Amino acid sequence: MASTYRTCCLMAFLTCVLISSVAFSTLTVHAMGRKVVPLAACSNQSDSTPTHIAPGRVGKIKEYTVPDGGVWGITAGPDGNLWFTMTDAQSIGRITPQGVETIYHLADQNSFPGGITTGADGKLWYTESVNKIGRITPQGQVTEFTLPDSNSYSMAITRGPDGNVWFTEPGKIGYITPQGKITEFPLPNTDFRDGITTGADGKLWFTSSNENTIGRISLQGKVTEYPVPTVGSNLVGITTGPDGNLWFTEYSGNKIGRITTKGHITEFPTGTSEPPLFIAAGPDGKLWFTESVTCGGSGDSIARISLKGVVKVFPIPYSYPIGITSGPQSDMWFAGFGDFSGVIGKVATK
């Protein structure tokens, strides 16, 4: 059920490290010591450093180990903490700005949680690789809601402008109310939609990986799609920028794209050998995105792009960064699938 980019990323990760209804969840707490991390990456990385890479000039990078498994999605919670999904460990995690982790193990050990967002109801909502949407309160109370189609599964998720939570499925865009009522709208095809966000125009915008389009859907379900100029760019993440435009990543194109709410697209090359994955607006008025190592490349990094398209890259130790979000104290927080354990990291933007 994984999309092309996800399959390729996981293969690169495995090759590089040479390793082939309401319920309360089980609770584990980890008090993790903070550490300043040095520059490092995959063992077979290139030794060259592109001139636009500027390690340490914006702020320190810190990482916290998540011992129970790889981390995928991350979001700022309503309680001032960061919340994240642990896909392989079937868990939802919480980390304070000081690095204290709490892990909630889900009862369903086949849920494979992915995307996560904070809803208007002050709870955390997440996708599952089965036909369900999950919800967890800041106190750890879990509820699951079953999708109408038993053969479907949810992918990306975001808080909508209408107070509902919107999500993607193969061939559908749906939303769920705080009370758990689900509505779905059909799409023209069953392509992978790995990114969705609320636009400044009050509509939902999403990526279509294989169709190579940026889509827009109104609250009433009217869909419009815009083709991306670079063929086969393999679109992944999308977010609303401080300029009111939508910014997205092109995994195969090694570009960051921008689309206005009128549908005009501009593309900016990242200038690096690593593919961009997910993207989020930062507190500094720029867009920040994750880049994960492809063996033989320049290594993992957190990168930023200005509204004019200028990219700067900040190398991090090999942690396979995926999700990214703006968090407390003007930091960007990222989720790393990690090596033999997961990683939560933060980078100062000011």
Match 């915008």 to its residue by tokens.
205
What digits encode the pLDDT tens for the residues 191-226? 888 999 999 999 999 999 889 999 999 999 999 999
Give the model's pLDDT for residue 40: 29
Total of domains in the chain: 1
Per-residue pLDDT, averaged over 105-116, amounts to: 92
Structure-token pair, residue 21: 């209804």
256 close to 214: Cβ distance less than 8 angstroms? no
What digits encode the pLDDT tens for the residues 141-168? 999 999 998 888 999 999 999 999 999 9
Give the model's pLDDT for residue 248: 98
Q: How far is CA 176 from each of CA 154, 183, 190, 237, 244, rounded to the nearest angstrom?
A: 12, 6, 20, 21, 25
CA dist 126 and 77 (Å) reads 12
Give the model's pLDDT for residue 298: 61
Domain that holds residue 165: 4-348
Query: Does residue 321 register a pLDDT over 60?
Result: yes
The DSSP output letter for 32 is: P
Give the model's pLDDT for residue 318: 81
Structure-token pair, residue 150: 């038993």
CATH number of the structural domain spanning residue 122? 2.130.10.10
Q: What is the pTM of this model?
A: 0.86
pLDDT band of residue 113 (cuts 50, 70, 90) is very high
Nearest Cα neighbor of 254 from 287, 221, 277, 237 is 277
- In total, the chain counts a number of residues equal to 350
Query: Does residue 27 register a pLDDT over 90?
Result: no
pLDDT above 90 as % of the chain: 68
DSSP-derived secondary structure for 140-202: -EEEEEE-S-TT-----EEE-TTSSEEEEETTEEEEE-TT--EEEEE-SS------EEE-TTS
What digits encode the pLDDT tens for the residues 44-98? 232 223 334 444 445 588 999 998 778 999 999 999 999 999 998 999 999 999 9
Give the model's pLDDT for residue 295: 53
Give the model's pLDDT for residue 297: 57
CA dist 17 and 318 (Å) reads 10
What is the rounded average pLDDT for all residues in the chain?
84
pLDDT band of residue 42 (cuts 50, 70, 90) is very low
What digits encode the pLDDT tens for the residues 280-306? 999 999 999 999 876 555 689 999 999
What digits encode the pLDDT tens for the residues 337-348? 876 688 999 999
Amino acid sitting at position 247: W
CA dist 107 and 70 (Å) reads 18
Structure-token pair, residue 182: 């689900």
| 100 compared with 58, residue with greater pLDDT | 100
